[in-house]
Copies of this chain bind each other. A is one copy, B any other.
Amino acid sequence: LIYYFYDAIIKIRTGSYEEVILIKVNITDIARITGFAKSTVSAALNNKPGVNPETRDKILKTAEQMNYIPNELARGLSSKTSATIGVIVRDITNPFYARMCRAIEQIAYNYGFTIIISNTDGIPDKELNAIRLMIGKMVSGIIVDISGNDLDLFFELRKSNIPYVLFGACQSNVDADCIEADDYKGALRAVEYLVSCGHEKIGFIHGGNDSIYSQRRLNGIKDAFLKFHIQFDDKFILHKAKKMEDGYEMGKRLIGMKDRPTAIIAYNDLVAIGLIKSFEEEGLIVPDFMSIIGFDDIELMTFPLTTVRIPEYDMGVEAAELLISRISGKNTGKFQKIILDTELIIRKSVKSLL
């Protein structure tokens, strides 16, 4: 084993095998070795036009040999943008967001972008931090699932001058690109289905006042009630559950109610799972004890849950495409609002009362 030191470069010779390793090679090193100027090296490395093919070849080959890894920080600082897209979600642990992130990552990758993810748990403070952090990292754009009505966040976003796309919940009073699912219609259809199965005492588990989804779903439910002349009963709107554990608690509460709904529309599948677990623990079977409809259509479910499918993957794709079209400047039109359709997936968690 022999080492040769030469500038920043070490050659290691093991038997007949010789390898050139480097201590953090940078473009200055490559420039020195190849004899070209830094700017030429940079141009060659970035596939810019106006570089002699032979020159480019030589530089590329040398870079490869020296195992050159571009310093993205320097690149970003100099070019005033890192090829990065920031994604701000509530909780990557929710398969819904996990799949959405992968969709975004996929599209981003195709366009040469990297993504960074921040979890906020829907806490406005964390959301603001995440946005600021991303601005600090000079991301090219941001896709954000903002929980509430906190206009400060939009303000921060707007000021930053970074393109951004709102995901999932677009408020009418905010000027921004946004992608959403048709929660309203999804909820409407859910109720229609329940009614067609003979249910009238229909409950809804609300995700909390910071959840625009819940608001829209509730609107759908109310309108469906109106349509079918069902009396809207406030006590069947249960606050609040967002996660599985919340759903579990809510299940116990439901069990304890004297006057129970015959069917529940859960805020999402996670909450529905919580309900089911909670019921089954007491030997109560879904849908015999109570019918349940979820939202999302998480694919990991083994339980045959009837649910309103939210096309999270497609939403991620749309969001990424839209954002990148803004970043690249190909899309300078006015703000777009893309609404994807939802679908009621009928399985076996709703009992027919007819």
Instruction: Determine if A183 is an interface residue (Cβ-Cβ < 8 Å).
Output: no
Report yes or no: A133 in contact with B114, Cβ–Cβ below 8 A: yes
* A92: Cβ under 8 A from any B Cβ: yes
Q: Which of A297-354 contact B (CB under 8 A)?
A: 298-303
Q: Residue-by-residue, is A84-103 near B (CB-CB < 8 Å gives 1, otherwise 0)?
A: 00000001110100110110
Residues on the B chain within 8 Å of A105, using CB: 119
Q: Is residue A218 within 8 Å, beta carbon to beta carbon, of the partner chain?
A: no
A88 to chain B, nearest CB (A): 13
User: Which of A54-62, A71-79, A184-192, A226-234 binds B?
Assistant: A71-79
Report if A277 contacts B (CB, 8 A). yes
The digit string for A249-284, where 1 denotes a CB below 8 A from any CB of B, is: 000000000000000000000100100110010000
- State whether B138 touches A73 (Cβ < 8 A): yes
Given A93-B99, A102-B119, are A136 and B302 also a contact pair (CB < 8 Å)? no
Q: Does the CB pair B244–A71 fall under 8 Å?
A: no
Q: Which of A95-148 contact B (CB under 8 A)?
A: 95, 98-99, 101-102, 105, 114, 116-117, 119, 132-133, 135-138
CB-CB < 8 A to A298: which residues of B?
300
A82 contacts chain B at the CB level, 8 A cutoff: yes
Given A71-B136, A137-B72 in contact, is the A270-B102 Cβ separation under 8 Å?
A: no
Residue of B nearest to A76 (CB): B73
CA distance A47 to B148 in the complex (A): 33
Residue of B nearest to A270 (CB): B300
